[in-house]
């Protein structure tokens, strides 16, 4: 009913590296087309699909389908809601009584118990596992199993975001060995189970009929890496792919509108794009220089011409409409004259001739659309006398450089910064990575401001929503003044799909969890 012709099949197979016309076809190729959804992603699916270890964006979207947490944030408001937990009682600000659903099961059929939850969090806390999420659970003072489905967690101090922390996927205690390491495959308790994996380029998931919410509507999900945008679109047009999310440029998505057999959907998202500064690299440690960058970059023009209306200017990490968002922060309208004056004040005058004030390296991903954005940002900066050398790096190399502090500036995106305590990860002075502790935090530019640290700490323990809003409003004002990041934009979730695929729900965090409700008409 929606199968490509043999000629198109062979062409797509050659382009995608999936030899569907030969005996070496992958399992994903051999599945019935009306029982699978093929999701095309732009990056390879690296690393173990272990919810306690993997922080990469695209593997994380697979993990969310396989592993479920005590809570879930995959909803329209991104507020933590009970998931494996039937309810969570809080008899005091530091005590959480987790009552699990008796019907919750792992993919091997065993029930999800309080001991499984305790063992999952204990393994994350174990230094031997080297989990990047260890800091989220260090504040646990004790865990007491009070029954097969009742776990009491006591914290050493109030921690307002703790319910969000409990969204990390739960794994079976029986599958964990010394140091919390997996003894073998880790069954999850999510809507899909891992059926097959072809290296880092294809993952096949099969519906778990025992999921406590009820079976997903489509039996199989195939997540396949296709690095080239044009090839992804050709696959959609030919029927070798079914859905692409946030992996097609707005211009190309516009070109697909009205194409027979395709549909384009968009919805507000929380993804936050930013230009990060290494404050240890002169002259970027001077706040006036960073403010000059903010005035020099014409973000409105980039949003209008490159995003075609599917992005909104960002004043900080939190998008407008977030419960903690404030518009009362310093703003940086496009003003090249002001940018030049700030650079002059910083002792970086514009020399005669073609010589620049200074030279800086800007690192970006190899994606064509992202590389073009970086080039346009560089052109704006060069117009005020700053020479910018754009380096487009393979994603793994880029992330390795970022995590090790090997950069002056870079452009990247946080996909889901909806919990304002995320400021702790990216801007607290205690979260600066070191060679001995590379997973210490995401403050890679070494931003240190004692008042910011104090506000982050206060926001963590405040339980009154109005008090948290006041705290985060001041925090946003200081960060917007200091500009450890130059906030660029919040991008909408943008999906191009086969028109016959119905029911897919676009979520603000661009999770693939909406596949649970997707089906073929």
Q: Where are the domains of the chain?
A: 6-66+188-267+493-520, 71-180, 269-492
The pLDDT value recorded for residue 376 is 96
Contacts 24+ apart (CB under 8 A), 18-24: 18/202, 18/224, 18/240, 20/240
Burial track 153-163 (b if 16+ CB lie within 10 A, e otherwise):
bebeeebbbbb
The pLDDT value recorded for residue 24 is 62
Each residue's pLDDT tens digit, 189-209: 999 999 999 988 999 999 999
Residue 421 has pLDDT above 80, yes or no: yes
Average pLDDT over residues 220-237: 94
CATH classification code of 269-492: 3.10.105.10
- Lookup: tokens for 442: 């995401």
CATH classification code of 71-180: 3.90.76.10
Question: What's the CA gap between 294 and 486, in Å, rounded?
Answer: 6
Residue 210 phi/psi, 5-degree rounding, is -90, 10
Each residue's pLDDT tens digit, 479-511: 999 999 999 999 999 999 999 999 999 998 899
Other CB atoms within 10 Å distance of the CB of residue 306: 17
Residue 320 phi/psi, 5-degree rounding, is -60, 135
Pairing of strands 192-198, 485-498: unpaired
Choose between 87 and 5: higher pLDDT: 87
Q: How far is CA 154 from CA 81, 99, 141, 457, in A?
A: 20, 14, 6, 19
Other CB atoms within 10 Å distance of the CB of residue 382: 13
Residue 85 phi/psi, 5-degree rounding, is -80, 135
**6-66+188-267+493-520 architecture in CATH?**
3-Layer(aba) Sandwich (3.40)
pTM for this prediction: 0.81
- Lookup: tokens for 159: 């921690």
Q: Checking phi first, is residue 410 left (phi over 0); if not, alpha (psi -120 to 50) or beta?
A: beta
Residue 180 phi/psi, 5-degree rounding, is 80, 0
The pLDDT value recorded for residue 345 is 98
Residue 77 has pLDDT above 90, yes or no: no
Average pLDDT over residues 292-305: 95
Average pLDDT over residues 432-441: 85
Each residue's pLDDT tens digit, 354-385: 899 999 999 999 888 899 999 999 999 999 99
The pLDDT value recorded for residue 419 is 86
What is the residue-averaged pLDDT of the chain?
Answer: 92
């Amino acid at each position: 009913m929606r199968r490509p012709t043999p000629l198109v099949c062979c062409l797509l197979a050659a382009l995608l590296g999936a030899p569907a016309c030969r005996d070496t076809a992958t399992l994903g190729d051999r599945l019935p087309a009306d029982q699978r959804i093929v999701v095309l992603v732009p990056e390879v699916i690296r690393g173990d699909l272990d919810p306690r270890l993997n922080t990469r964006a695209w593997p994380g979207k697979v993990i969310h389908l396989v592993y479920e947490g005590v809570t879930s944030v995959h909803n329209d408001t991104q507020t933590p809601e009970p998931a494996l937990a039937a309810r969570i009682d809080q008899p005091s600000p530091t005590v959480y009584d987790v009552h699990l659903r008796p019907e919750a099961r792992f993919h091997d059929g065993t029930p999800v118990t309080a001991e499984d939850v305790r063992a999952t969090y204990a393994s994350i806390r174990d230094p031997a596992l080297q989990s990047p999420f260890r800091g989220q659970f260090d504040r646990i003072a004790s865990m007491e199993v009070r029954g097969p489905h009742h776990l009491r967690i006591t914290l050493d101090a109030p921690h307002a975001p703790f319910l969000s922390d409990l969204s990390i996927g739960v794994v079976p205690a029986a599958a964990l060995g010394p140091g919390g390491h997996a003894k073998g495959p880790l069954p999850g308790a999510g809507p899909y189970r891992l059926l097959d994996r072809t290296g880092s380029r294809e993952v096949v998931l099969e519906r778990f009929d025992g999921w406590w919410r009820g079976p997903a509507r489509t039996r199989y999900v195939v997540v396949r890496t296709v690095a080239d945008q044009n090839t992804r679109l050709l696959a959609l047009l030919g029927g070798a792919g079914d859905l692409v999310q946030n992996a097609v440029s707005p211009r190309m998505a516009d070109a697909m509108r009205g194409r027979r057999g395709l549909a384009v959907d968009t919805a507000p998202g929380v993804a936050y794009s930013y230009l990060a500064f290494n404050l240890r690299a002169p002259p970027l440690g001077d706040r006036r220089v960073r403010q000059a960058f903010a005035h020099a970059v014409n973000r409105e023009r980039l949003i209008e011409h490159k995003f075609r209306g599917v992005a909104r200017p960002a004043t900080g990490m939190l998008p407008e409409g977030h419960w903690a968002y404030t518009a009362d922060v310093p703003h940086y309208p496009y003003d090249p004259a002001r940018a030049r004056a700030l650079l002059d004040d910083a002792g970086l005058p514009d020399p005669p001739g073609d010589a620049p004030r200074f030279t800086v390296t800007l690192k970006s991903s190899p994606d064509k659309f992202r590389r073009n954005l970086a080039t346009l940002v560089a052109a704006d900066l060069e117009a005020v006398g700053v020479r910018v050398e754009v380096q487009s790096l393979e994603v793994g190399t880029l992330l390795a450089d970022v995590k090790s502090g090997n950069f002056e500036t870079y452009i990247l995106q946080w996909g889901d910064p909806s919990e304002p305590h995320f400021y702790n990860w990216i801007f607290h002075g205690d979260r600066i990575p070191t060679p001995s502790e590379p997973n210490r935090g995401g403050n890679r530019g070494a931003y240190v401001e004692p008042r910011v640290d104090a506000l982050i700490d206060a926001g963590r323990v405040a339980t009154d929503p109005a008090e948290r809003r006041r705290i985060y409003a001041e925090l946003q004002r200081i960060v917007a003044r200091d500009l450890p990041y130059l906030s660029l934009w919040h991008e909408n979730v943008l999906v191009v799909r086969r028109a016959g695929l119905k029911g897919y729900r676009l979520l603000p965090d661009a999770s693939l969890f909406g596949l649970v409700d997707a089906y073929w008409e």
